Structure 1
């Protein structure tokens, strides 16, 4: 069987058995959330206070991890790849000079201390729906 035909059938089989099987290669013990070409995997993650979450760019596209300022608990520490203090600065830095970008194979981590919902986005792919949520629960 030719390689392309085999890979095509393998891809179809992955779709047939569902997303978890198709995405298994994206998830490892080295990171909690993968940044694929067009999304965060998983899109929702639940952790306990004090947990450090690790994102890894598993695609060839540039990504960011940028909290929505209005989408995190009031007492929580703001987080963004690049270490920016607020969402406006993170956005300006990315659009000015790709500040905060995470390239293929690179990682970003943040420790979540305050319980609540944390919504975040990949700035360059926000229009394509690349956003996700971390829930921190006792």
Structure 2
């Protein structure tokens, strides 16, 4: 059974234009929330719940929760490194990285 407080894999490398799908395989809710200061300047912000900023995602966390068995998708168009986290489990180290090369 996967650890319910980790992204697996923690780092993924893709090509520009590819889509990453996060699937919640645990029995608790999670978010996928970009760190605003850890994405390329030209890239669009991303977060489950469709938020346009990290502040909005943090202040309305319940709207961004991904239920067990549900998915969240994001297409990465710009090369670079993207850092993201789960709001409720950030303090437990639930963070990840997408590298677009």
Structure 1, unaligned runs of 5 or more: 1-22, 27-35
Structure 1 or 2: larger helix share?
1
Give the equivalent residue in structure 1 for 2:27: 60
Cα offset, 1:99, TM superposition: 1.4
Determine which structure has greater relative contact order: mean sequence separation of CA pairs < 8 Å that are 6+ residues apart, divided by chain length.
Answer: 2
Question: Residue 68 of structure 1: CA displacement?
Answer: 0.1
- Structure 2 gaps of 5+ residues are none
Between the aligned partners of 2:98 and 2:11, the Cα distance in structure 1 is 6
Matched positions, count: 101
Is 1:43 aligned with 2:10?
yes
Q: What secondary structure sits across from 1:124 in the alignment?
A: coil
Which structure 2 residues correspond to residues 1-138 of structure 1 after superposition, within 5 A?
36-94=3-61, 98-137=62-101
RMSD over equivalenced CA pairs, Å: 1.0
Q: TM-score, normalised by structure 1?
A: 0.71
Distance 1:37 1:103 in 2: 12
Following TM superposition, where does structure 1 have runs of at least 4 consecutive aligned residues deviating by more than 2 angstroms?
none
- For 2:63 and 2:36, locate their aligned partners in 1 and report how far apart those are by CA, in whole Å: 18
Q: Matches of 1:54 and 1:127 in 2, distance apart?
A: 23
Mapped partners of 1:72, 1:66: distance in 2: 11
Rounded Cα–Cα distance in structure 1 between residues aligned with 2:55 and 2:91: 17
